[in-house]
């Protein structure tokens, strides 16, 4: 169909090309544009295939994924790229290099270069392809079929799929925050007014690596409020991800370790497969990492982070929920709102998958929707405002 998102598959394994192609063809809204066995052939096929998104392996003969990304950048090709690769010894470092070179996101092949169980990542992969491909089509002025909060094609558009509440029903308060009307959604009124912002908590998933790179690169160097982040990411990657953010952010960014201090000018990124919670102690505040069961289908979970932030910081917290499939964080960011903290959500137009922020907004837990381009500025302004 004309509105389908076309995908170029680049992998040196014929089996993988066929398995990935089958997943794409069986997903409504997606179609295979073409297939290539390495980066060199992919570059040759792009003008004719005209794909909306590219699935790229990293380890290929003649021209590997990194070399392809360098050439893509040199040629000014803006088609988004999703890395689907096995993990070698330097896998995390290479993957972060790929993101730095312009790849949008990545998924780990479940069992090596030739993964006949690739179907286990189908939902994550197809949601990314629909999200990034749809975003690219919109930028090109092409039609895109609407998707639901799980990143799947949907007949319902905008903020109407969960509660029947449209965005136009929300009104701005005197200080510019968008307050959801309590007659339209089941939002509890805050227990108190917002106080000084002592912590910023961010929950983010699909589309997150790209989005966080932009936000962190634009944060003010004099932002004193500490930041804690849950980004859904496999174990083994968050250390390199934090290092990659640290290189472009004016603040210190590090992967969280048990007992790390929450302090001024520092951002802590949750470890893959570890929940992150905060706690205030006599000496200040620290983070704790736990192996507790998955929450909202994830570990780390934004819901776990937001719940602990609401408990210990109350109306002195700023909760931010950004692009991501599903609803993780949508419920417990409401606890920050209930306690009188401030809450922001990424808007539909700039989110790769308008899932987590959509559910939070429709539950009445988001006070203001913000574009990705403006998110860093809004975070800094709210955190610096005396109350």
Which are the catalytic amino acids? 205, 232, 328
* Spatial distance between the Cα atoms of 70 and 68, rounded to a whole number of angstroms: 5
291 alpha-carbon distance from chain centroid? 22
Task: Tell me the HSE value of 233 on the side-chain side, using a 13 A CA sphere.
Answer: 27
Query: Are the C-beta atoms of 372 and 211 separated by less than 8 Å?
Result: yes
* Spatial distance between the Cα atoms of 136 and 113, rounded to a whole number of angstroms: 28
Pairing verdict, β 171-172 and 178-179: antiparallel
First to last CA, the chain: 53
Q: What is the full DSSP assignment across 231-249? A: E---TTTHHHHHHHHHHH-
Any residues with CB less than 8 A from the CB of 181 and at least 6 apart, and which? 169, 170, 171
Q: What is the full DSSP assignment across 258-317? A: TT-B--TTEEEEPPTT-EEEEEEETTEEEEEEE-PPPBTTBSS-HHHHHHHHHHHHGGGE
Any residues with CB less than 8 A from the CB of 293 and at least 6 apart, and which? 299
* Spatial distance between the Cα atoms of 9 and 25, rounded to a whole number of angstroms: 12
Beta-sheet strands, E only, within the chain: 5-10, 30-36, 53-56, 81-85, 105-108, 171-172, 178-179, 199-204, 227-231, 252-255, 266-269, 275-281, 284-290, 317-321, 342-346, 368-370
């Amino acid at each position: 169909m004309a509105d389908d998102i076309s995908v170029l598959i680049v992998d040196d394994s014929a089996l993988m090309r066929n398995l990935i192609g089958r997943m794409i063809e069986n997903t409504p809204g997606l179609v295979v544009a073409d297939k290539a066995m390495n980066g060199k052939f992919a570059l040759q096929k792009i003008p004719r295939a005209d794909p909306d998104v590219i699935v790229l392996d990293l380890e290929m003969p003649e021209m590997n994924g990194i070399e392809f990304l360098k050439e893509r950048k040199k040629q000014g090709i803006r088609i988004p790229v999703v890395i689907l690769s096995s993990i070698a010894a330097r896998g995390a470092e290479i993957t972060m290099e790929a993101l730095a070179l312009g790849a949008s996101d990545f998924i780990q092949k479940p069992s090596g270069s030739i993964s006949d169980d690739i179907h286990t990542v189908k939902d994550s992969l197809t949601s990314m392809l629909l999200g990034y491909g749809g975003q690219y089509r919109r930028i090109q002025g092409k039609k895109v079929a609407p998707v639901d909060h799980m990143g799947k094609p949907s007949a319902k558009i905008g903020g109407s799929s969960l509660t029947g509440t449209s965005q136009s029903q929300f009104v701005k308060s005197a200080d510019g925050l968008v307050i959801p009307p309590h007659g339209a959604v089941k939002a509890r009124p805050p227990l108190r007014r917002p106080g000084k912002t002592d912590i910023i908590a961010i929950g983010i998933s699909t589309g997150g690596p790209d989005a966080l790179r932009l936000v962190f690169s634009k944060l003010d160097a004099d932002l004193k409020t500490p930041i804690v982040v849950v980004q859904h990411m496999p174990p083994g990657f968050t250390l390199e991800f934090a290092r990659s953010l640290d290189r472009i952010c004016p603040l210190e960014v590090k992967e969280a370790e048990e007992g790390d201090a929450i302090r001024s000018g520092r951002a802590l990124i949750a470890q893959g497969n570890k929940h992150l919670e905060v706690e205030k102690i006599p000496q200040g505040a620290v983070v704790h990492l736990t192996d507790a069961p998955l929450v909202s289908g994830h570990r780390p979970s934004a819901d776990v982070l937001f719940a602990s932030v609401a408990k210990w910081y109350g109306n002195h917290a700023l909760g931010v929920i950004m692009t991501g499939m599903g609803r993780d964080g949508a419920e417990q960011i409401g606890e920050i709102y209930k306690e009188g903290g401030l809450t922001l959500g990424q808007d539909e137009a700039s989110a790769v998958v308008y899932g987590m922020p959509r559910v939070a907004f429709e539950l009445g837990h988001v006070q203001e929707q913000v574009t990705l381009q403006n998110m860093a500025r809004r975070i800094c302004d709210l955190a610096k405002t005396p109350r």
